[in-house]
Structure 1
């Protein structure tokens, strides 16, 4: 990340800019940094100015206690100001919930696009599952058990026990433990895990809700209802895609929405 800006509470945020055209800030999800969405930024660069950044508590960005979702909205406000005072937002997974909350809070953004924000009220038992995860995650992080926190998240995403054991032995595990405290941030961004209908109804800009056609039915339903709930929403299915969407597939759809 070659650029820095400062959020309202003094937290330094690392970001980089690529491409030309309408500006869009890419918001990563849990267990990720700006580098996670950098391939998508590269795919957008011929039609958009794409901004990637490390959310607070990750990568090259700083962190300031106590955490609040409002601080991450302020981070986005600082980034919008740093890149010229006008931008759209794109968020993947829980990063989509942050982008939507920023728009609902009145952040002056042009458009919002999200990919598979995992609102759990469309998953049978999803609300209860989210509540158990929240309790266990907070316990693990309070006790300094970062590895256990990462395991909890991986199980929540559906990863099997054998794959989790393999992940613990991989070179990537240290990096995953390093960002484990930020899992609590994404958990806070998701709230109670349910679709925040009142907040979504307050969004006054166009919203694109995208989902993979090979993703679970509950995820497709959550994405569709999201688009139906905002005043100006569009729903799009990318056939054959899963939660790990391919930039070459998502990029043209997102660029088309952003360039209008």
Structure 2
């Protein structure tokens, strides 16, 4: 993997595939660069150079105690600079929140594609102390409990689904990513209702969501599209239950760039 050096010295790992205009994919909670491979391949086939990232505290990237949303925005800016200096950014879930946040802070982003960003706009907000409790669980060596707590309180998954995940092979790879739940919970709490700076970005903004997805994500996408001047809302039928369809998503990007 290639590496970019963020403003605080943290090394951020990324991979590249394809040729053409650069698209940086920013994944959501628990995602690694490799989780974007199918989408990256579809975008590469559509004529793009695609960059996938291990966000800080994940995979091959480094981490620093006390990292902030500002640090993660700097990470994205550093990757874009390392990949050529300007990029289209496609963020999914909390990665979409981060992409919009980084754009508002001046990251060299050409255009934004935001896939089902989990803005809550003051509705059903997680407890304010969630990031602190997640950090305490990680510090106490209870990373598995941090993962479960984030799934229950941060994401809002039903307890039976969380228990099913915990008892499956899916759970083991999530545990090493527990520290990143602190960062996701902090970011989404800090800008749960996006401030004026985020709603007034000058880049073209396309907001994507599936027809069949969680109601809170439908509400978030639709409201965000109505509050960002000139934003386009695109409903992607092929994307189901918070899983962006690679080919359909690549088609949306290709048609708008």
Give the TM-score normalised by structure 2.
0.90
In structure 2, what is the equivalent of residue 101 of structure 1? Answer: 101
Where does the alignment leave 5 or more consecutive residues of structure 1 unmatched?
none
Tell me: CA distance 1:130–1:248, structure 2 relative to 1, closer, same or farther (3 Å). farther
In structure 1, what is the equivalent of residue 188 of structure 2? Answer: 190
Q: Which moved more, 1:7-16 or 1:153-162?
A: 153-162
In structure 2, what is the equivalent of residue 14 of structure 1? Answer: 13
Q: Distance in 2 between matches of 1:222 and 1:165?
A: 27
In structure 2, what is the equivalent of residue 180 of structure 1? Answer: 178
Question: Deviation of residue 159 (structure 1)?
Answer: 3.7
Q: Which moved more, 1:246-255 or 1:174-183?
A: 246-255
Q: Distance in 2 between matches of 1:196 and 1:21?
A: 32
Q: Does 1:144 align with 2:137?
A: no
In structure 2, what is the equivalent of residue 247 of structure 1? Answer: 246
1:140-187, CA deviations, whole angstroms, 9 ceiling, x for partnerless residues? 234332111111222243444344334333333232110011101111
Q: Which moved more, 1:110-119 or 1:190-199?
A: 190-199
Q: Which moved more, 1:201-210 or 1:138-147?
A: 138-147
Tell me: CA distance 1:161–1:32, structure 2 relative to 1, closer, same or farther (3 Å). same
Q: Distance in 1 between matches of 2:159 and 2:227?
A: 36
Q: Does 1:83 align with 2:80?
A: no
Native 8 Å contact 1:210 1:235 kept in 2 = yes
Where does the alignment leave 5 or more consecutive residues of structure 2 unmatched?
none
Tell me: CA distance 1:80–1:177, structure 2 relative to 1, closer, same or farther (3 Å). same
Match of 2:162 among 158, 161, 164: 164
Tell me: CA distance 1:78–1:192, structure 2 relative to 1, closer, same or farther (3 Å). closer
Tell me: CA distance 1:162–1:194, structure 2 relative to 1, closer, same or farther (3 Å). closer
Tell me: CA distance 1:199–1:78, structure 2 relative to 1, closer, same or farther (3 Å). same
Q: Distance in 2 between matches of 1:215 and 1:36?
A: 19
Q: Distance in 2 between matches of 1:160 and 1:220?
A: 18
Question: Deviation of residue 130 (structure 1)?
Answer: 4.6
Q: Distance in 2 between matches of 1:155 and 1:249?
A: 30
In structure 2, what is the equivalent of residue 62 of structure 1? Answer: 62
Tell me: CA distance 1:160–1:221, structure 2 relative to 1, closer, same or farther (3 Å). closer
Q: Does 1:216 align with 2:196?
A: no
Tell me: CA distance 1:104–1:65, structure 2 relative to 1, closer, same or farther (3 Å). same
1:59-84, CA deviations, whole angstroms, 9 ceiling, x for partnerless residues? 01111233011111111121111111
Q: Distance in 2 between matches of 1:215 and 1:159?
A: 13
How many positions carry a matched residue from both structures?
Answer: 254
Q: Please give the root-mean-square deviation of Cα atoms over the aligned residues, in Å.
A: 2.0
Q: Distance in 1 between matches of 2:190 and 2:81?
A: 30
Give the TM-score normalised by structure 1.
0.89
Q: Distance in 2 between matches of 1:140 and 1:185?
A: 14
Native 8 Å contact 1:204 1:232 kept in 2 = no
Q: Distance in 2 between matches of 1:201 and 1:167?
A: 35
